[in-house]
Amino acid sequence: METKRRSIAKTLSWRAWATVITAGVVFATTGEFRFAIEIGLIDTTVKLGAYFIHERIWNRIDFGRVRPVKQDYQI
The pTM (predicted TM-score) of the whole model is 0.60
75 residues of the chain, pLDDT tens digit each? 788 899 889 878 988 898 999 999 999 999 999 999 999 999 988 988 898 899 899 999 988 888 888 777 776
Contacts of 26 (CB under 8 A, 6+ apart): 32, 35, 36, 39, 40
59, 10 Cβ separation under 8 angstroms = no
- What is d(CA 27, CA 4) in angstroms, rounded to the nearest whole number? 34
- What is d(CA 59, CA 52) in angstroms, rounded to the nearest whole number? 11
Contacts of 20 (CB under 8 A, 6+ apart): 40
